[in-house]
Amino acid sequence: MGIDLTLTEEQELIGRTANEFFEKNCPSSLVREYEATASDYPSELWTKMAELGWLGMPFPEACGGLGLGTLDMYPLLVEMGRHLVPCPYLDTVALAGELICSIGSESQKKTLLPGIAAGEIIVAPAIMEADGSYGPKGIQLQAQHTGSGFELTGAKTLVACAGAAQWLLCAARTDPNPADGISLFLVDPTTSGISMERTPNIAGYPLYAITFDSVSVPADAVVGETGSAWPSLYQAMMKAAVLQSAMVIGAGERVLEMTTNYAQEREQFGQAIGKYQAVQYLCTDIAIHYHQTSLLTLQAAWRIDAGESFLREAALAKASASRAAAAMTFAAHEVHAGVAFISDYDLQLYTRRAKHWEYNLGDLRYHLDRACAESGI
Amino acid sequence: MVDMRADDTPELQAWRQEVRDFLAEALPEPWTFWYDYDEDPESWERYLTFWRKVAEKRWVSLTWPKEYYGLGRSAIEKWILDEEFVAHDVPTYPVIGRQVSELLMRHGTHEQRLKHLKGIADVSVLWGEGYSEPGAGSDLAGLTTKAHRDGNEWVINGQKTLGTAAHVCQWMSVLARTDPDGPRHAGLSCFLVPLDTPGVEMLPLNNMADGRQNMTYFDDVRIPAENLVGDENQAWTQVWFGMGGDKLDNALPGTDPHTLRIIPLFARVLRYCQQTNRGGQRLADDPLIRQQLGELMVGVETLKVQAFENYSRAQTRKPGKFGAASSHLSAAFHKEFWPHLAQVCMEIVGPMAQLKGGRWAQLNGELEHYFRASFGNHAGGTSQLKRMVLATRGLGLPR
């Protein structure tokens, strides 16, 4: 009751368990390996995460889930960020799973959610297009009514783990009206007319560009109501953005730790560089960004779980996280200098992923604008 | 368990409403007064009249024990009261010396509490602070004001600076060196000094934001032995920590409700941007201004949640992520954000923001004054100091 910013014992336990689990099962060698392989994600690790119940955390128990809230997922995502876990958690569990839970039909829930929770089904949300905008206007892939269903034509970009997905969750335009014409479709990626290419990127993630050329989908592929998916999609992306912010927090905590350790050990001019105030300032920059983002993210997560309006607070959290992702890694490189420019050193793994996270689910500019809009400005 | 709503019971909601109703009744219109930036005697009189109404309700001493003129109410009720005061542009305490009551409550004797807390509670006695000296600002432990024992008295000699509103105060808490031979942190003591004692002289230091601070001189100032508060030579731990160290987590200068005076000001700027056209478009529709407003909103929200965090830390007694240095982190953030906010708001409002008031001024000239006031962000130690403490105590970097 009252004001309290501390997680429950159970929530802290989730964090400790996840930290120990990833420490053991997701060393940086695995992170590096998955930048280089053709495989989208480490399925063995994913299965173990499923066994721990993590892939069904937010789903109702009837659908193989644990029925937990955002504050319960928060410590898990922090640890996923700290250990740079290469897997489609945000995409499949947080975003696609949330959408299927909130607007999917009973049959879609029964077919997909237990499979996701068991680690057997990957659903890859295909939202963004080539112009890189985050709002509804950016969704231009056309879905034409046909006698038996729809025909999709257009292209999607930055689709994570599409190569391993059993389903794409594709946002398409069924009406030219910017906000009202958007529908979501579950599409089998092996359907004729779909071609995908893996797009090499700064984070070494399995991101795909997918072209839809007159792709036929049945009428029951629609998730939610035809033409009115945007509000749900927007809400789900904002919730996922809060969890993305939690990943930035975990990564930031690790980056801060690496940087202060290095500043204590590295000596120049006869003393530890951490004794120089210029270096201390850079370290405190990381701490301040980390702290600011963790408070704002905790607030947004709490609002989601408390059933309060959360869109404004989610935008503030992700704006802070996007800025922090860039600022924390910048400061860390300033302190490490030459050593972290060498690929053997792990800091660069964080730096490159931080850039993807900065953009993912809305960048700084987008969320600053949303923060205004959601404040009625 | 995470909770960020103060008034989550009907009783607390009713309490918030009671405070609101009181403010609607007791606050004079128009209300623009902050004690650190105003020297108009009429404003001061109106201000203190208001505070005496607060005192009649015994809300100054809301959370104090009943035996010390308090109501024994909960910390969360005080928090809600503070939130409402700040939302109405009212400081959360009559003047700067708010720490004296906490100091007395923690380290004072029963007799000292009986003697002094009543005057604080009924706003008949105002307290200033005598900490900083010309040669000891952020490095407070370097202070040179001395006190020596002479029979049943202490004799104080030295000089204190930057005493906010000290000229309207009747008493001052003064830090002085009582052991000139000990380590610099170990030889300090705290004294309660009536400012009408012979040997006390005060000169004005008018600040650039229309307020008066003071240089206070102590020349063989004799006070009774019982005016030592806390233990002799222990003031560094007992008082310094009270100023933001790890013992008194929700005290100044970490983020507290007082800091949140930024919120109503920023709300006025937001409203201004929605209501004002420039070049045929609302300021709020200008994409660059929206980015600036969004960026400031992130900072203002951060201050709010930092205040929640400081409160939560004090109540749950769980150390923050950076241990003893947690409140220094929020203090550094606030100290840097405040002038930044003032600067960016002036950029948004544009050239008319430099006018002080009158027909052509924008927002009644509020930003012109706010910008000047933002250079008072050093009170309680600079952001550089806060970052140094964070780096060495919080992050473990070498000193």
Tokens of B85: 């005061």
What residues pair up with B218 in beta bridges, in sequence order? B158, B200
In a domain, B133, yes or no: yes
- Asked whether residue B154 falls in the same domain as residue B225, the answer is yes
pLDDT score at B97: 60
What are phi and psi for residue B372, nearest 5 degrees? -65, -45
Region A217-222: mean pLDDT is: 97
Which among B180, B199, B232 is the end of a domain? B232
Share of chain B above pLDDT 70, in %: 94
Domain count along chain B: 3
Please give the share of chain A, as a percent, with pLDDT higher than 90.
97
Distance spanning both ends of chain B, measured CA to CA: 36
CA–CA–CA angle B330, B331, B335 (5° rounding): 120
Q: Does B390 touch chain A (CB under 8 A)?
A: yes
Distance from CA of A279 to the nearest CA of B (A): 9
Nearest residue, CB atoms, A377 vs list B79, B270, B391: B270
Chosen for mutation from B77, B397, B399 (greatest number of chain A CBs closer than 10 Å) is B397
Percent of all residues in chain A with a pLDDT value above 70, rounded to a whole number: 99
Find the range with the poorest average confidence among A50-64, A218-232, B376-390.
Answer: B376-390
Restricting to B residues 63-92, those with a Cβ less than 8 Å away from any Cβ of A are 76, 79
Which of B15, B83, B273, B301 is most worth mutating to test chain A (most A CB atoms within 10 A of its CB)?
A: B301
pLDDT of residue B241: 62
Task: Return the residue in B297, B348, B393 with the most chain A beta carbons within 10 A, the one to mutate for interface testing.
Answer: B297
Which pLDDT score is estimated for B257?
A: 60
- Cβ atoms of B140 and B147 within 8 Å: the answer is no
**Greatest pairwise CA separation for chain A in angstroms:** 79
3-state secondary structure of A156: strand
Query: Encoding tokens for residue B293?
Result: 């407003």
Here the tokens at position A309 are 């309006």
Which one of B308, B388, B391 has the shortest CB-CB distance to A3? B308
Closest CA to A335 of A351, A322, A319, A313: A351
**Judgement on whether residues B60 and B182 belong to the same structural domain of the protein:** no
Q: Assess A180–B contact: CB distance below 8 Å, yes or no.
A: no
Of A6, A260, A320, the CB nearest to B395: A260
At B300, which CATH number?
1.20.140.10
Alpha carbon B9 to its chain's center:
29
Distance of residue B301 Cα from the nearest chain A Cα, in angstroms = 8
Domain stop point among B51, B70, B94: B94
- A169-201 pLDDT, tens digit per residue, is 999 999 887 767 999 999 999 999 999 999 999
Q: Which of A2, A315, A323 sits opposite B76 (nearest CB)?
A: A2
**In A, which residues are within 8 Å of B270 by CB distance?**
375, 377
**How many Cβ atoms are within 10 Å of A91's Cβ, its own excluded?**
25
Tokens of A180: 């009202």
Peptide bond into B30 cis (omega under 30): yes
CATH of the domain at B131: 2.40.110.10
- Does residue B107 sit within a domain? no
User: Which residue type occupies A134?
Assistant: Y
The pLDDT tens digits of the residues spanning A292-321 come to 999 999 999 999 999 999 999 999 999 999
Q: Tell me the one-letter amino acid at B30.
A: P
B216, B251: one domain: no
Residues B272 and B250 in one domain: yes
ipTM: 0.95
For residue B239, being part of any structural domain is answered with no
Residue with tokens 């398409």: A172
In a domain, B200, yes or no: yes
Residue of B290, B294, B390 lying closest to A287 (CB–CB): B390
**pLDDT of res. B102:** 84
Tell me what pLDDT residue B66 has. Answer: 94
Q: Are residues B251 and B228 in the same domain?
A: no
| Domain annotation for chain A: domains and CATH numbers | 9-121 (1.10.540.10), 124-223 (2.40.110.10), 230-374 (1.20.140.10)
Are B174 and B309 members of one domain? no
**Which A-chain residues 225-254 have CB contacts (< 8 A) with chain B?**
none
For residues B216 and B248, state if they share a domain.
no
Claim to verify: residue B263 and residue B159 sit in the same structural domain: no
Domain match, B68 and B161 both: no
The 3-class SS string of A81-144 reads HHCCCCCCHHHHHHHHHHHHHHHCCHHHHHHHHHHHHCCCCCEEEECCCCCCCCCHHHCCCEEE
In sequence order, which residues have a C-beta less than 8 Å from that of residue A322 and are 6 or more positions away? Answer: A248, A357, A358, A359, A362, A363, A364, A367
- Does residue B259 belong to any structural domain of this protein? yes
Inter-chain contact A263–B397, Cβ cutoff 8 Å?
A: yes
pLDDT single digits (tens) A248-302: 999 999 999 999 999 999 999 999 999 999 999 999 999 999 999 999 999 999 9
Closest C-alpha to A286, from B207, B29, B143, B394: B394
Nearest-by-Cβ selection for A316 from B297, B321, B395: B297
Q: Reduced to 3 DSSP states, what percent helix, strand and coil does chain A have, rounded to the nearest 5?
A: 55, 15, 30
* pLDDT at res. A2: 81
Q: Is residue B302 part of a domain?
A: yes
Residue of B nearest to A313 (CA): B301
pLDDT digit string (tens) for B303-318? 999 988 888 887 887 8
Residue numbers of chain B with a pLDDT score lower than 50: 244-254
Per-residue pLDDT tens digits for A346-373? 999 999 999 999 999 999 999 999 999 9
Query: Are B194 and B263 contained in the same domain?
Result: no
Interface check for A13 against chain B (CB to CB < 8 A): the answer is no
B119 within domain boundaries: no
Do residues B268 and B324 share a domain?
Answer: yes
Residues B163 and B296 in one domain: no
Residue-number span of the structural domain to which B153 is assigned? 127-232
Q: Which of residues 284-343 of A touch B (CB under 8 A)?
A: 284, 287-288, 291-292, 294-296, 298-299, 301-303, 306, 308, 313, 315-316, 319-320, 323
**Of the candidates B197, B232, B267, which is a domain's last residue?**
B232
Residue B211 lies in a domain: yes
